[in-house]
Structure 1
Amino acid sequence: MRLVIARCSVDYAGRLTAHLPSAPRLILIKADNSVSIHADDRAYKPLNWMSPPCTLRETRPGEGPEGGGTREGETAHAVWTVENKGGEKLIITLEEILHDSSHELGVDPGLIKDGVEAHLQELLADRMETLGEGYALIRREYPTAIGPVDILCRDAEGVTVAVEIKRRGEIDGVEQLTRYLELLNRDPLLAPVRGVFAAQEIKPQARTLATDRGIRCVTLDYDGLRGIEDDKLRLF
């Protein structure tokens, strides 16, 4: 992984256009060539990013197709152009590099999930009808540049659905699913992608936030998924 702290401006050119004015920022370039740009806030959510597969090309003054260098009085800036297979571009203009280092992290062992959460994922993948009639599994632990989605599936209408599973559903889990949805909806082969937040217990604040973002909430019955009958007395 390469970490660069630099004063830079950023332009995104694709289906939409976006501009980040000049400011000090952290740029992460990972081994899979993904690039993400971070400010000193927003937790771990990047300001902008480009997911793999993509390429990074660096040009300096005088290296462009027309050459000629810079004119008197102009500032010489390096420009990184990150482009994905769809032709979308992230153009990073580096004005001043404050830090530049590379680190070999090796193969990551992956996230070790809470035993109940891992079992919930396994059980739900085998019983997709829990989410509704016609749901079909695409893959468990669907890989993305920011982590694996617990379950990726399709509903009865063929729409892609990303499912985030928690033992206790709180706001952090909704934020995590929101980031996955933002990334997955950039993939034209998957979009539009809907979200389902599934947990044994969902806190009211998390449910409110999820509903506001168009994410469906599902309360999971762990024993029911395991096929264990409720031992409580019933009237009928």
Structure 2
Amino acid sequence: MHADDRAYKPLNWMSPPCWLVEESADEAHALWVVTNKTGEQLRITIDEIEHDSSHELGVDPGLIKDGVEAHLQELLAEHVETLGPGYTLVRREYPTAIGPVDLLCRDADGGTVAVEIKRRGEIDGVEQLTRYLELLNRDPLLAPVSGVFAAQQIKPQAKTLATDRGIRCLVLDYDALRGTESNEFRLF
């Protein structure tokens, strides 16, 4: 509940979980009782109803997120040439003993490349790719394996660490991978 003149600061609130029961105070007033798990109550008396309506909105589709890592991985696998000319996809979710590598590819020279994909590239993603590279380079059929750390945004510390470890960084443009035009203002 907020004051009319100070809407930013609540006057009262109920911590979840809580539930609402509508009771009738009398014929002219309605009473809502909000109760929390400890039995505390917030009692709201409604003196006048200005408008009351309901609308059928249909089935709730739930939250549908766009641009998550799985989408980036799928799009980059479809457009593997984004990694460089001559790149080919070996497999998505390449299994290792410590977890799957997002993409395993071959570069134009036939070399093996492990690609780790993140929405936001941070140090922990570089560490994860480093562990994959150490493991994959033990396999004589794959070695030598190089790494690409691909993300929509890469923090400077992560880029420095990746570069220091010989891992190439690639900033991904989600809209370009999807083939849609960005809605950002442009000069040209």
Q: Percent identity?
A: 84
1:224 corresponds, among 158, 176, 179, to: 176
Instruction: Tell me which residue corresponds to 1:171.
Output: 123
Are 2:145 and 1:193 aligned? Answer: yes
Which fold has the larger relative contact order, with Cα–Cα distance below 8 Å and residues 6 or more apart in sequence? 1
Unaligned runs of 5+ in 2: 1-65
Task: Give 1 or 2 for the bigger CA radius of gyration.
Answer: 2
Task: Find the aligned partners of 2:88 and 2:137 in 1 and give their Cα distance.
Answer: 19
Are 2:170 and 1:212 aligned? Answer: no
2:83 corresponds, among 112, 128, 131, to: 131
Are 2:95 and 1:143 aligned? Answer: yes
More strand by share: 1
Runs of 4+ in 1 over 6 A off after TM superposition: none
1:136-165 per-position Cα deviation (integer Å, ceiling 9, x unaligned):
000000000000000000010110000000
1:97-130 per-position Cα deviation (integer Å, ceiling 9, x unaligned):
xxxxxxxxxxxxxxxxx96100000000000111
Q: Root-mean-square deviation (CA), in Å? A: 1.3
Task: Find the aligned partners of 1:135 and 1:182 in 2 and give their Cα distance.
Answer: 22
SS in 1 for 2:142: coil
Instruction: Tell me which residue corresponds to 1:3.
Output: none
Unaligned runs of 5+ in 1: 1-113
Task: Find the aligned partners of 1:235 and 1:191 in 2 and give their Cα distance.
Answer: 45
User: What's the offset of the Cα at 1:232?
Assistant: 3.3
Task: Find the aligned partners of 1:176 and 1:154 in 2 and give their Cα distance.
Answer: 20
Task: Find the aligned partners of 2:165 and 2:69 in 1 and give their Cα distance.
Answer: 23
Instruction: Tell me which residue corresponds to 2:44.
Output: none
Instruction: Tell me which residue corresponds to 2:133.
Output: 181
2:150 alignment partner AA:
A
Task: Find the aligned partners of 2:75 and 2:151 in 1 and give their Cα distance.
Answer: 13
Task: Find the aligned partners of 1:231 and 1:123 in 2 and give their Cα distance.
Answer: 19
1:214 alignment partner AA:
G
Q: TM-score scaled by structure 1? A: 0.51
Aligned length: 123
